[in-house]
DNA sequence: CATCATATCTGTAACGTTACAGATGTCAAT
DNA sequence: ATTGACATCTGTAACGTTACAGATATGATG
């Protein structure tokens, strides 16, 4: 057996059929075949069907480069990722859903990690200017997101996971973080907790506002205390730091008796911090979190949570963007809001209860 | 402000410079500029430098479609992912490392989820036949991996995460699972555990053999017992099932006193199962795991682990594949083996000890 | 001085596709 | 028969790049 060579050298690579091949097989002009396969109305229906069938039989697949050169479109969607090193399970789930939609619609999904400590716009600019994709999926949106402004100004198709506060409307999919925060906080109140703390998103991201709105509303309505500290830990605080901060807080006089946590990893670190302080999570300090994977289901003690379906979010992002690209009306609204799904603690048989 | 339109209509999109633009600016022929930018030796060194500089000033970036049409190359690497729904944090880390290398080398990274219940070859075949990428990154390799055979037969560049048992050599990056299993098992033995169990990979994957080799060697050498059950849970058993199986086992007469776990999520579920059986992880049954994220650091009780750096693996996969594509000798060996990094339990201050 | 080798540059064609401007044929109305 | 309207199909050109086969100039060699 030959050793793996470093390039596909003596090319026996099966030459794939082109429009010309199909045209010859049909006895038609190349142009006709092109228009037939693109389902243009000025080609007889019968011809269109015949061409489609012959093309299928020959295994014809349009050449991306040829098409792209002519049309300027790439049939690629770019997913902008957090900078290298800050990529989490969230990313994986988004890719899973988005990738499925791309595959089903003949798009490539291109994953583009952001560059740390770099011009915020450099990645989007490179994609737009160099025509690396037909559309962009953004996450980690800020209220006045520069990237969104840039894309709007340049009239480049995109969809965001999360909203902005810009005057111009744009396609987006978001989790209802306000409802999540309200429901989570309410549940703590119902359990008699009176002194609450929120571990939310970085202040620069739009959804931190939503979380705070929901949290504060319930706190105010019930005349509760909420813990404010100088440098509050958030979802992107390194887990060890978050853990230490929580531990310190738990040993101070400002110790909370309930924590709402907008991310599952942060919740795990927070529980570790509570234990470090010699207290018992759930008993001394109740914790309630947003859940995006199965991990929380197997924690001890088990905690209540609200589920965000990231996989579904990825699918929605993809569908929205592709509809936008293909000039079809978006599915329902241009902006979709996904509601949290309440989950209750595990029973000891290991079953999750999901009540609606 | 205008509402977001669905396509970049009245195109004010900045026309990007082409080779022709650069050629005119330099007073040279298009061909010359092309060859200059490709650093061909039949262009005077001075000319090459001048052209490069003018091109940079004009912000020239080669058009992927034009180049691809002519050369047949896409400057894209495809990462094959587990089927939708089975994608985990592992994926995210691979993408993180691989994406970085792609960006630095002018490649796009295309993420391609596998299709469940479908022909095993369909995805690779589609990539190869339709020239969707210049090279492929595979994971979840089997001893007689059909995809690898197909790629070898078609002389298509690729690199695998994990090895095969095929006679033909191919580029790969692998974690030394045998060493991991040996070291993990040895550590349990040193703690006096005598009746051990391995939660490894699915039997169909090559590295399960490596895990078993390492595990069995230590078990045999120390004349220990190992637990064999009919349908042993593995890393891809749904977590609830794994948890129940472990719980049941712990209540039977074949209860292990130590578990080696080749994945962190499985370790978490196993610990939950131990607790379900009324036993204490670490005390009654010691657990030791392979670690790929920070999650395990914040478990209670904290457990020992061996770290696999997936981010670095992604980078290595990318570097290897790109070197292969560009005909440069691969970095060191064609096959790289990454050694496990021992990690010890957290101290109560929240610091991880990494000794070498 | 003629010849040849070498270094450096250039023009043409082609990759596969689609836009555009016709071309051809058919049929109905005049 | 002629015209026009329509349905259906076709040929040419172009997108940006690189392969290929020269072209030109320079200097060395006989």
pLDDT tens digits, one per residue of B173-204: 999 999 999 999 999 999 999 999 999 999 99
- Indicate whether B47 pLDDT > 90: yes
8 A C-beta contact, residue B317 and residue B161: yes
pLDDT recorded at residue A95: 93
User: For the segment B293-337, what is each residue's pLDDT rounded down to a tens digit?
Assistant: 999 999 988 899 999 999 999 999 999 999 999 877 665 678 999
Place of tokens 């979380």: A211
pLDDT mean for each 10 residues of chain A (356 residues): 39 73 95 96 95 96 96 96 78 93 96 87 94 96 97 96 95 97 97 96 96 97 88 90 96 94 95 96 96 92 94 95 82 84 65 43
Buried b (16+ CB within 10 A) or exposed e, A264-273: bbbbbbbbbb
Q: What DSSP element (H or E) covers A55? A: helix A45-58
Q: Which residue, among B46, B122, B20, B44, has the nearest Cα to B80 in the 3D structure?
A: B122
B66 touches strand D (CB under 7 A): yes
Residue with more model confidence, B199 or B344: B199
Once rounded to an integer, what is the mean pLDDT over residues B28-57?
Answer: 96
Residue A62 burial by Cβ neighbours in a 10 Å radius (0-12, 13-18, 19+) = middle
Find the residue in A nearest to B2 (Cα): A168
Buried b (16+ CB within 10 A) or exposed e, A202-234: eeebbbbbbbbebbeebbeeeebebbeeeebbb
Chain B residues in contact with A276 (beta carbon < 8 A): 348-350
Tally Cβ neighbours within 10 Å of residue B11: 10
Find the residue in A nearest to B11 (Cα): A155
- Relative to beta strand B172-175, strand B195-199 is unpaired
Once rounded to an integer, what is the mean pLDDT over residues B66-95?
Answer: 89
Nearest CB to B152 within list A4, A9, A91: A4
B346 DSSP assignment: P
- Indicate whether B5 pLDDT > 80: no
Once rounded to an integer, what is the mean pLDDT over residues B245-271?
Answer: 95
- Indicate whether B351 pLDDT > 70: no
Q: How far apart are CA A299 and CA A198, in angstroms?
A: 20
pLDDT recorded at residue B343: 85
Whether B85 sits inside 8 A of A348 (CB atoms) is no
pLDDT recorded at residue A344: 80
Chain D bases under 7 Å from protein CB?
7-12, 14-21
Tell whether the torsion through CA atoms of A252, A196, A209 and A205 is positive or negative: positive
For B75, the token pair is 């400057």
Q: How far apart are CA A51 and CA A27, in angstroms?
A: 10
A47 touches strand D (CB under 7 A): yes
- Any chain A CB within 8 A of the CB of B325? yes
Whether A269 sits inside 8 A of B2 (CB atoms) is no
pLDDT recorded at residue A90: 86
pLDDT recorded at residue B7: 39
Query: pTM of the entire structure?
Result: 0.91
A26 touches strand D (CB under 7 A): no
pLDDT recorded at residue B353: 45
Percent pLDDT > 90 in chain B is 79
pLDDT recorded at residue B346: 55
A203 touches strand D (CB under 7 A): no
For A214, the 3-state DSSP assignment is helix
Domains (ranges, CATH) in chain B?
19-62 (no CATH), 76-175+311-339 (3.40.50.2300), 177-308 (3.40.50.2300)
Find the residue in A nearest to B9 (Cα): A155
User: For the segment B144-181, what is each residue's pLDDT rounded down to a tens digit?
Assistant: 999 999 999 999 999 999 999 999 999 999 999 999 99
8 A C-beta contact, residue A354 and residue A309: no
- Any chain A CB within 8 A of the CB of B38? no
**What Å distances lie between residue A94 and A90, A106, A151, A162, CA to CA?**
6, 18, 21, 13
How distant is the alpha carbon of residue A141 from its chain centre? 11
Q: For chains A and B, count residue pairs whose Cβ atoms are closer than 8 Å.
A: 254
Range A208-214, long-range pairs (CB < 8 A, 24+ positions): A208/A234, A209/A143, A210/A176, A210/A177, A210/A178, A210/A181, A211/A177, A211/A178, A211/A180, A211/A181, A211/A262, A212/A181, A213/A178, A213/A181, A214/A177, A214/A178, A214/A179, A214/A180, A214/A181, A214/A182, A214/A183, A214/A185
pLDDT recorded at residue A6: 38
Give the ranges where B191-309 is alpha helix by DSSP (H). Answer: 206-221, 239-251, 264-276
Taking the CA of residue A32 and the C1' sugar atom of nucleotide C21, their distance in angstroms comes to: 15
For A19, the token pair is 């429009």
Give the ranges where A233-277 is alpha helix by DSSP (H). Answer: 239-251, 264-276
Chain C bases under 7 Å from protein CB?
7-12, 14-21
Q: What contacts B116, CB < 8 A, 6 or more positions away?
A: B83, B84, B85
- Indicate whether B58 pLDDT > 60: yes
Q: How far apart are CA A243 and CA A265, in angstroms?
A: 11
- Which of these ranges, B5-14, B18-27, B274-283, has the smallest mean pLDDT? B5-14
pLDDT recorded at residue A324: 92
pLDDT recorded at residue B333: 73
Whether A65 sits inside 8 A of B61 (CB atoms) is no
Window 81-100 of A, Cβ < 8 Å to B: 81, 84-85, 87-93, 95-97, 99-100
8 A C-beta contact, residue A16 and residue A59: yes
Q: How far apart are CA B64 and CA B84, in angstroms?
A: 29
**What Å distances lie between residue B326 and B34, B244, B333, CA to CA?**
18, 50, 16
Find the residue in A nearest to B77 (Cα): A110
φ, ψ (nearest 5 deg) of residue B74: -110, -15
φ, ψ (nearest 5 deg) of residue A99: -60, -40
Window 189-208 of A, Cβ < 8 Å to B: none
User: For the segment B282-302, what is each residue's pLDDT rounded down to a tens digit?
Assistant: 999 999 999 999 999 999 888
- Which of these ranges, A63-67, B14-18, B234-238, has the smallest mean pLDDT? B14-18
Whether A243 sits inside 8 A of B325 (CB atoms) is no
Chain B residues in contact with A243 (beta carbon < 8 A): 298, 350
Give the bridge partners for B307, in sequence order: B291, B341
């Amino acid at each position: 057996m030959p050793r793996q060579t470093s390039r596909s050298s003596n090319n026996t690579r099966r030459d794939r059929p082109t429009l010309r091949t199909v045209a010859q097989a049909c006895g038609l002009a190349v142009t006709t075949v092109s228009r037939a396969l693109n389902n243009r109305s000025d080609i007889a229906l019968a011809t269109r069907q015949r061409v489609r069938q012959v093309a299928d039989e020959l295994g014809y697949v349009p050449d991306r480069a040829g098409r792209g050169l002519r049309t300027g479109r790439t049939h690629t969607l770019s997913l902008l990722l957090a900078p290298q090193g800050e990529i989490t399970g969230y990313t994986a789930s988004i890719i899973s859903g988005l990738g499925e939609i791309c595959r089903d619609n003949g798009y490539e999904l291109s994953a583009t990690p952001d560059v740390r400590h770099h011009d915020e716009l450099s990645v989007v600019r490179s994609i737009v200017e160099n025509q690396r994709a037909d559309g962009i999926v953004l996450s980690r949106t800020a209220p006045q997101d520069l990237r969104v402004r840039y894309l709007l100004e340049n009239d480049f198709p995109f969809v965001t996971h999360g909203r902005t506060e810009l005057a111009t409307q744009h396609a987006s999919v978001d989790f209802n973080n306000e409802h999540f925060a309200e429901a989570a906080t309410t549940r703590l109140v119902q359990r008699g907790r009176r002194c609450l703390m929120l571990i939310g998103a970085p202040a620069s991201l739009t959804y931190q506002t939503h979380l705070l709105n929901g949290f504060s509303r319930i706190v105010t309505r019930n005349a509760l205390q909420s813990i404010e500290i100088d440098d509050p830990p958030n979802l992107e605080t390194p887990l060890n730091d978050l853990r230490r901060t929580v531990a310190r807080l738990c040993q101070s006089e400002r110790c909370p008796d309930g924590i709402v946590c907008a991310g599952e990893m942060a919740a795990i670190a927070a529980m570790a911090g509570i234990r470090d302080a010699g207290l018992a999570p759930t008993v001394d300090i109740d914790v309630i979190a947003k859940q995006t994977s199965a991990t929380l289901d197997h924690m001890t003690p088990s905690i209540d949570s609200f589920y965000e379906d990231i996989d579904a979010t990825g699918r929605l992002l993809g569908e929205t963007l592709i509809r936008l690209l293909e000039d079809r009306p978006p599915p329902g609204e241009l902006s979709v809001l996904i509601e949290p799904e309440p989950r209750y603690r595990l029973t000891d048989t290991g079953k999750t209860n999901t009540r609606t």
